[in-house]
A and B are shown apart, each in its own frame.
Chain A
């Protein structure tokens, strides 16, 4: 599904990713762990096409489609979704309006008909209920005045509504207490399916107790330096990242 080959990327003049390769097949959940500054967030921004993140070498594709030549919105229409570490506040745009605009834009890009308002509202209500969200929050400005946990829940709400094929979760556990973490993890796990794949980026093992990965990769100094099964995450939790610190 997702295939990244020898990816090099810079921010400004500073190389951050230095030959990263990664394959995530459909139906699998892969975790990327690594110390601060390893390039975890850079990877998520390069894959989603944020300006200022320049790819200098290598390739990234989703089901054979070259991602790097597409705009961020075209990548989203192909089914790529990034759950932000720090979701943005957008005053004046209710969450419902934002999600419906995004959903219809994606549908239009794929040549599908727009979603009808009653159908959209019905799905929004069901999704909000599953995530134990107050539906009235969805009528207020997106994320405005929300707590860290509420913002993360709103990300999962959007993810569930847009039903992407490839999910990137960037430090989704940060700022969550244990109850919120469980709800968010349930929301994510509900999206696991044979046609879908996920990349879970995290500094800590904690999230992986709730979202069980099939594979764990260690990202250090811009490259994948170790890969293994779920046991690798537990080992990292015990021994820390020190031995990968000088991997470059």
Chain B
């Protein structure tokens, strides 16, 4: 039986009710010191009207749920069949805080697409998002999240994902950073032929900070997990990747692979990475790899010698570097939308 661990969702929600914010002394937050970024939780955000701008996945969804400053326009449970749901977490406020909560269930045997966007227009806000995601037996969910927020924002999104037997779960998190931006996923993997993919891209300039944290627990036999995260960090920005895979006692024949690769575009840029494998089972196939380096100067000169200016050459090469992650998004139109967002962001940080 599993030990009872503190639920990450109630913990995150508790910050709004006076529970202490994590500091760098909390192991999982040591590179994303929320108490330092916020000091205290700001006053509650006011209600606001739905945004007049298109989200990054405009036109792709069968239905849309919009949260504005934490206030939602629909139910707090999304029960999904085979369909595409866009969930837009809008923050249009200054120096206030809000919590958005949503439970998503994909019905057994159905295949759904979740397009999640964090769209910040204000400044200095604290957006706290809590997602409870459940996949029924044999269900498939592909989740693509774009985090597009202003540089002064603090935004933390915490999700717990539970998969039924034979389920397929795939996520791609694309983060542009903020004052402190964190996207955290806790995945309970049942084994039993279920498969998971957890990918990420972070593209950071200025003094931005993004943190992609995942914790996958393999709880049954013969589960598969594949993870690929790539980051490009310019100026004095900072990227954090924490990937933990726990293979519990009895979760034999687990196949788990994790890769993280980052490119630093400046001497002041920083990447902190912590890939972690904790294996308590037998006969498992697990591997992780982690690299942090500079852009290939020779390739850069090669491109420039053909007439491509330095900034455009950096965009071209960094885009090629992260393309592999975008290509792993199965839904073609979602991959195209994500790729377009990535290209715009890379142009901005390569200039």
Contacts and interface: CB of A to CB of B under 8 A. Distances in A.
Contact of A105 (B299, B312, B321, B323): B312
Given A92-B319, A93-B316, A93-B317, A73 B324 contact: no
B308 A73 contact: yes
Interface residues of B, number: 23
A245 to B, nearest CB: 30
B342 to A, nearest CB: 12
Contacts of B313: 73
A33 interface: no
B307 A73 contact: yes
A121 interface: no
B301 A50 contact: yes
Contacts of A87: 302
A90 B295 CA distance: 12
Contacts of A51: 297, 301
Interface in B301-351: 301-310, 312-313, 316-317, 319-321, 323-324
Contacts of A48: 305
Interface string A42-79: 00000011110000000000000000000111011100
B283 interface: no
B317 A90 contact: yes
B305 A76 contact: yes
B320 A93 contact: yes
A73 B310 contact: yes
Residue among A71, A73, A91 with the most chain B CB within 10 A? A73
A128 interface: no
Contacts, number: 75
A215 to B, nearest CB: 25
B321 A92 contact: yes
A76 B306 contact: yes
A72 B310 CA distance: 9
B259 to A, nearest CB: 15
B298 interface: yes
B306 A98 contact: yes
Interface SS of B by simple majority = helix
Contacts of B302: 84, 87-88, 90
Contacts of B304: 49, 71-73, 76
A51 B298 CA distance: 10
Contacts of A92: 319-321, 323-324
A3 to B, nearest CB: 20
B211 to A, nearest CB: 25
Given A90-B320, A92-B321, A162 B299 contact: no
Interface in A104-148: 105-106, 109, 141
A158 interface: yes
A188 B307 CA distance: 20
A82 B298 CA distance: 14
A91 B309 contact: no
B320 A91 contact: yes
A71 B310 contact: yes
A162 B307 CA distance: 9
A162 B310 CA distance: 18
B303 A109 contact: no
Nearest to B323: A92
A22 interface: no
Residue among B306, B317, B319 with the most chain A CB within 10 A? B306
A81 B302 CA distance: 11
Nearest to B318: A92
A98 B313 CA distance: 10
A105 B319 contact: no
Given A88-B302, A90-B320, A105-B308, 6 more contacts: A77-B307, A81-B305, A81-B306, A84-B302, A92-B320, A98-B303
Interface of B: 296-299, 301-310, 312-313, 316-317, 319-321, 323-324
29 contacts: A50-B301, A50-B305, A51-B297, A71-B304, A73-B305, A73-B307, A73-B310, A73-B313, A75-B305, A82-B305, A84-B302, A84-B305, A88-B296, A88-B299, A91-B320, A92-B319, A92-B320, A92-B324, A93-B320, A98-B303, A101-B308, A102-B303, A102-B306, A105-B308, A105-B309, A105-B312, A106-B307, A109-B309, A162-B306
